[in-house]
Amino acid sequence: MSRTKRWVPVVAVAAMICLVALCIAVVLGGQSLVQRIASDASFARFIERVLTPSTLTGAESGRSAGIPPGKQVLRLPGGDPPTLDPHLSGDSTSAEYIVEIFSGLMAYDRDLNLVPDLAERWQVNEQGTSYTFFLRKDATFHDGKPVRAQDFKWSFERACDPRTRSITADTYLGDILGCRDKLRGQADQVKGVEVLDDFTLRLTIDQPRVYFLSKMSFPAAFVLDRDNVERGGANWTASPNSTGPFKLAEIRPRERIVLQRNERYYREPKPLLERIEFVLAGGSAMVMYEQGDLDMTPVGLIDVERVSDPHNPLNRELQLVESLGVYYIEMNTRQPPFDDVKVRQAFNYALDRERIINLVYKKTRQVAWGIVPPSMPNYSNPDLQPLRYDPEKALQLISESKYGDVTEFPDITFHVLGAGGTTGRVIEAIVTSYRQNLGIDIQVQQTDWATYLRDLNDPNNTNQMWGGEAGWIADYPDPHNFLDVLFRCDSKQNHNFYCNPEVDKLLDQAAVEKDPKVRGSLYRQVEQQVVNDAPWVPLFFDVQYWLVKPYVKNAWLPPMVAPKFQYYYLER
């Protein structure tokens, strides 16, 4: 999740559903890929049909009063989650299931408004450092046990316990007084978590932070049932007693995952689907969809042109969506040759991103010159000065670096997702571009998703460069979740070890700034500086194509990982 720090892999179509949560694009400024594709006559009618108000809002909201008639079983492709423990989750594959099974104090609604979830309401003190949450008295765990403030205290302290080995607690709970002390083994409790009574919880943070409430929607802040966790031991997630709109009914690795409706769910809308069946195996998701074995599926590059043809019957079931996600190459600023900023800049100038998008992705992605997706609500950076393709400039920068010439570089290994087979076309294109423009032969090493995440979160990571087919998707719709979480000097999600004290000063100002215009200006300065310092080679902002059967009603495809299936129902 990023939950989520959300690391998002681009893999086989059959697993794509769990890798990125998507939404119908509502463009808030600038020209999006949706608009540019719409200028192509062959796409015009499709865009006009897809981006209608009813599609954008999921207007079918009637049926919420009762369970619709007929079999309410939704079938879609899924991926094997590295974990179902909310406190250990750091990837979108895991998060897609976790946000349906578990819940926390806050959540996002269909308009991306932050709303109370297990909390009924909250109060903030004048200093902006103390949050008092009043819990719902009707909320229970799946077995009917009431949710109490004590459950949250135990859950926060478990997440901040070094024995839990959470990779996200520092980032998402570290603002709470005492969390980092406990993570370092310097405290037995998290002193900033106080139980005032059974239904009142107080969280105290180290200083005012305008984004703190958003972090409470992240899985690291989800509540767990202590008895369930302690009695279940290492395998407690095989039968979690949680609070979300769905319960885990079955999990068969590499086969299927089944979620079942939680009849006790406390919040509107109540889930209408009886079950959700994630298919983890079985061949091509497109073939299964066309044969009627799946109710919705993402569309891979090989089928995009076919289903985009307005004369194809499938075109009527196609939805074009943009996510708050970005894909990139990441460079370890501690490892040669990327310990030199001029080398990192050269790797930006030497990569012809537009050509890769046009040829490999068939113009179905939007080239990323910056960090924050253009669909980010209330944020844009039209004056960003990118490091555009210029191979001559790249060679000049290498000659000016401390290495002087690529012959003085150490061997470079590019770590990517894979299972030891042929690398994807985008990886091949990247390696070829660097060979042609810089005269460098880069070795490619493939690893599976779980190993990739393990290496990524190793504080002693010595990998030189990685990415290409993996990226970051928003945990909450705020530029902080990209610029602060990923590039602050001491952030645990800063895997490239980039550190610029001037950037941190700007991030500190943005953290407490209440004026949206001033805050946006601070983040634009940060984004430009990060682009200049080049710990990344941004590749593209994600746009994907989905097929959804006409009988799947009220389907919401959010721009980030968020609980969504409680809105769905089937009308055959």
**CA 134-136-141 angle, 5° bins:** 125
**CA 531-537-538 angle, 5° bins:** 80
Burial class (CB in 10 A: 0-12, 13-18, 19+), 235: exposed
Radius of gyration of the chain (CA): 23
Q: What fold is seen in the domain 325-543?
A: Dipeptide-binding Protein; domain 3 (3.10.105)
449: helix, strand or coil: helix
In angstroms, rounded to a whole number, what is the distance separating the alpha carbons of residues 167 and 164?
9
Q: What is the structure's pLDDT at 310?
A: 94
Beta strands in 85-160 (DSSP E): 106-108, 114-116, 119-124, 130-135
Task: Give the CA distances from residue 562 to residues 35, 45, 97, 503, in Å, rounded to whole numbers and listed in that order.
Answer: 26, 30, 10, 30
Q: What is the structure's pLDDT at 38?
A: 42
Q: Beta partners for 465?
A: 331, 414
Burial class (CB in 10 A: 0-12, 13-18, 19+), 62: exposed
Nearest Cα to Cα of residue 534 among 401, 380, 361, 364: 401
Helix (H) or strand (E) holding 513: none
Decide the pairing of beta strands 413-417 and 443-447.
parallel
Residue whose entry in the numeric block shows the structure tokens 């059974």: 198
Helix (H) or strand (E) holding 439: none
Report DSSP letters for 361-423, one per residue. Answer: STT-SEE-SSSS-TT-TT---TT-------HHHHHHHHHHSSS-SGGGSPP-EEEEE-SSSPP
Residue whose entry in the numeric block shows the structure tokens 């290994």: 413
Residue length of the chain: 572
Helix (H) or strand (E) holding 322: strand 318-331
Q: What is the structure's pLDDT at 65?
A: 53
Q: What is the pTM of this model?
A: 0.87
- Looking at this protein, which amino acid is placed at residue 22? L
In angstroms, rounded to a whole number, what is the distance separating the alpha carbons of residues 337 and 322?
35
> Domain residue spans in the chain?
104-235, 325-543
pLDDT in tens, the chain (572 residues): 333 334 555 443 333 333 333 333 333 334 444 444 444 444 444 444 443 333 333 334 434 457 788 799 999 999 999 999 999 999 999 999 999 999 999 999 999 999 999 999 999 999 999 999 999 999 999 999 999 999 999 999 999 999 999 999 999 999 999 999 999 999 999 999 999 999 999 999 999 999 999 999 999 999 999 999 999 999 999 999 999 999 999 999 999 999 999 999 999 999 999 999 999 998 899 999 999 999 999 998 889 889 999 999 999 999 888 889 999 999 999 999 999 999 999 999 999 999 999 999 888 889 999 999 999 999 999 999 999 999 999 999 999 999 999 999 999 999 998 876 778 889 999 999 999 999 999 999 998 888 898 899 898 999 999 998 889 999 999 999 999 999 999 999 999 999 999 999 999 999 999 999 999 999 999 999 999 999 999 999 988 789 999 999 999 999 899 999 999 999 98
Q: What is the structure's pLDDT at 545?
A: 86
Q: Are 302 and 178 in contact (CB under 8 A)?
A: no
Q: What is the structure's pLDDT at 64?
A: 47
Q: What fold is seen in the domain 104-235?
A: Dipeptide-binding Protein; domain 1 (3.90.76)
Q: What is the structure's pLDDT at 52?
A: 33
Burial class (CB in 10 A: 0-12, 13-18, 19+), 290: middle
Q: Where are the alpha helices (H) located in 27-118, listed in sequence order? A: 33-38, 41-50, 53-57, 92-101
In angstroms, rounded to a whole number, what is the distance separating the alpha carbons of residues 184 and 411?
36
Q: Are 2 and 481 in contact (CB under 8 A)?
A: yes
Q: What is the structure's pLDDT at 50?
A: 41
Q: How many Cα atoms are found within 13 Å in the side-chain-facing hemisphere of 431?
A: 18
Beta strands in 418-523 (DSSP E): 443-447, 465-473
